[in-house]
């Protein structure tokens, strides 16, 4: 079962809107792709327009993107397939990361997602649970429901003698807190359940390079074929085949959108304080609020129900170690 809605640790981006009404004759639409200063906008019930931003649309939020894929906008059709963005509506949610060489400037990967699907592979490249934990913390901090996709199940095998499969030995620990889909883009394994999860929502699909995002999205949206990358023999890391976020409607359902995002090898946790981390791990939440010390870090203090639950096996040790590493300021990469 999907987990209940969670409180955010940081406020979602509000959106760069002056509060004015859209001008007469402008059309509502959704930004589905960005090309530098140009934005492909799918007009509701109409064609796509390649649009620029009117100069009077002011950058009221200086520390995030003015316009991003997923933004709801109002556009004037200026002819010949071109448009002009007149107004950007407030964002109700974002999936973002720190812009390069900054400490507090948000780069929006996708505006207004309903949920996120974090895709990893069983092998080729090897899964990185600590990176997945970082993705999940980022989603939790924005109150964004998340699911986990485990792709390339055709490469799955036993984890050891008498052990469960490799995939479930790594990802099974998440099943009590998040929906986990075991998938194979080649055979279609798990796709019926995945389509049910995506239906009627805007879903950000992201994960490390090379895990099969393009193959998976090609199966969901055959009309929008993407290049399929290969794995570098030298590094084992994926070569990027997607260079910018693309929002696509899934055929057969006008309300179902998936965002094909660039491969991400690391995410910075924008605006998340160490004191809020414990509430961003669902496994820890049932044991919070009863510690002897009000500012308990759960790392070494006596009288800590979280540590007691860990010792009793009620909290997975791997997930606690991810929390502890973040709490101490260590990298999960």
- pLDDT tens string 34-91: 988 899 999 998 899 999 998 767 555 556 788 999 999 999 999 999 999 999 999 9
Region 114-127 average pLDDT:
94
Is 268 domain-assigned? no
Region 111-137 average pLDDT:
93
Same-domain pairing of 168 and 287: no
Burial per residue of 28-48, b for 16 or more beta-carbon CB atoms within 10 angstroms, e otherwise? bbbbbbbeeeebbbbbeeeee
Half-sphere exposure of 246 (CA within 13 A, CB side): 17
Q: What is the CATH number of the domain that holds 56?
A: 2.40.50.140
Is 35 domain-assigned? yes
Nearest to 258 by CA among 193, 204, 209: 204
Given a cut of 60, whether residue 302 has pLDDT beyond it is: yes
Q: How far is 109 from 132, CA to CA, in rounded Å?
A: 17
* Residue written as token pair 């509000």: 14
Residue with the bigger pLDDT between 215 and 49: it is 49
Same-domain pairing of 180 and 226: yes
pLDDT for res 188: 92
pLDDT for res 231: 35
User: pTM for the complete prediction?
Assistant: 0.81
Nearest to 135 by CA among 33, 1, 272: 272
Same-domain pairing of 185 and 294: no
Assigned token pair, 168: 């479930």
Domain edge (last residue) among 204, 236, 260: 260
Q: How far is 121 from 99, CA to CA, in rounded Å?
A: 27
Please tell me the total count of domains within the chain: 3
Q: Are 118 and 98 in contact (CB under 8 A)?
A: no
Given a cut of 50, whether residue 269 has pLDDT beyond it is: yes
Contacts of 55 (CB under 8 A, 6+ apart): none
Q: How far is 106 from 58, CA to CA, in rounded Å?
A: 17
Q: Are 86 and 26 in contact (CB under 8 A)?
A: yes
Contacts of 199 (CB under 8 A, 6+ apart): 253, 255, 256
Residue 149 has phi, psi (to 5 degrees) of -110, 130
Could you give the angle at the alpha carbon of 211 between the alpha carbons of 208 and 213, nearest 5°? 90
Q: Which has the minimum average pLDDT: 105-119, 173-187, 218-232?
A: 218-232
Same-domain pairing of 89 and 100: no
pLDDT for res 237: 40
Residue 109 has phi, psi (to 5 degrees) of -75, -40
Could you give the angle at the alpha carbon of 210 between the alpha carbons of 206 and 216, nearest 5°? 60
Same-domain pairing of 171 and 200: yes
pLDDT for res 329: 84
Determine whether 111 is exposed, middle or buried from the number of CB atoms within 10 Å of its CB (0-12, 13-18, 19+): buried
Domain edge (last residue) among 73, 93, 113: 93
Contacts of 309 (CB under 8 A, 6+ apart): 286, 287, 315
Nearest to 278 by CA among 230, 236, 319: 319
Same-domain pairing of 68 and 170: no
Is 267 domain-assigned? no
- Overall residue count recorded for the chain in this entry: 333
pLDDT for res 322: 95
Same-domain pairing of 153 and 222: yes
Same-domain pairing of 103 and 214: yes
Q: For residue 147, give its domain range.
A: 96-260
Q: How is the chain split among helix, strand and coil, in percent rounded to 5?
A: 20, 25, 55
Q: Are 105 and 64 in contact (CB under 8 A)?
A: yes
Q: What is the CATH number of the domain that holds 241?
A: 3.40.50.300
Indicate the angle between helix axes 317-327 and 129-141, nearest 10 degrees: 70
Q: Are 276 and 312 in contact (CB under 8 A)?
A: no
Given a cut of 60, whether residue 333 has pLDDT beyond it is: no
pLDDT for res 50: 96
Domain edge (last residue) among 219, 237, 260: 260
């Amino acid at each position: 079962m999907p987990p209940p809605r969670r409180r955010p640790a940081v406020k979602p981006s509000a959106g760069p809107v002056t509060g004015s009404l859209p001008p007469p004759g402008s059309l509502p639409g959704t930004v589905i792709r960005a090309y530098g200063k140009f934005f492909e906008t799918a007009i509701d019930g109409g064609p796509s327009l390649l649009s620029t931003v009117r100069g009077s649309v002011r950058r009221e939020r200086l520390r995030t993107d003015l316009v991003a894929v997923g933004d709801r906008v109002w556009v004037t059709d200026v002819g010949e397939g071109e448009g002009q963005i007149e107004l950007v509506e407030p964002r109700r949610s974002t999936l973002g990361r720190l812009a390069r060489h900054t400490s507090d400037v948000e780069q929006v990967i996708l505006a207004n997602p309903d949920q996120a699907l974090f895709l990893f592979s069983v092998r080729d490249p090897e899964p990185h649970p600590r990176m997945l934990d970082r993705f999940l913390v980022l989603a939790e901090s924005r109150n964004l429901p998340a699911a986990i996709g485990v792709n390339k199940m055709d490469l799955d095998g036993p984890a050891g003698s008498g052990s469960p499969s490799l995939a479930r030995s790594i990802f099974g620990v998440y099943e009590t807190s998040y929906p986990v889909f075991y998938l194979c883009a080649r055979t279609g394994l798990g796709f019926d359940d995945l389509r049910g999860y995506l239906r009627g929502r805007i879903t950000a699909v992201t994960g490390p390079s090379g895990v099969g995002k393009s193959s998976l999205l090609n199966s969901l949206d055959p009309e929008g074929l993407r290049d399929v990358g290969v794995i570098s023999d030298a590094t084992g890391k994926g070569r990027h085949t997607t260079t910018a976020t693309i929002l696509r409607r899934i055929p057969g359902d006008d309300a179902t959108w998936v965002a094909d995002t660039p491969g991400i090898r690391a995410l910075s946790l924008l605006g998340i304080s160490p004191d809020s981390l414990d509430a961003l791990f669902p496994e820890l939440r049932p044991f919070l609020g009863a510690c002897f010390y009000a500012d308990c870090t759960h790392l070494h203090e006596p009288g800590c129900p979280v540590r007691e639950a860990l010792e009793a096996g009620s909290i997975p040790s791997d997930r606690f170690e991810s929390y502890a590493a973040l709490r101490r300021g260590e990298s999960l990469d």
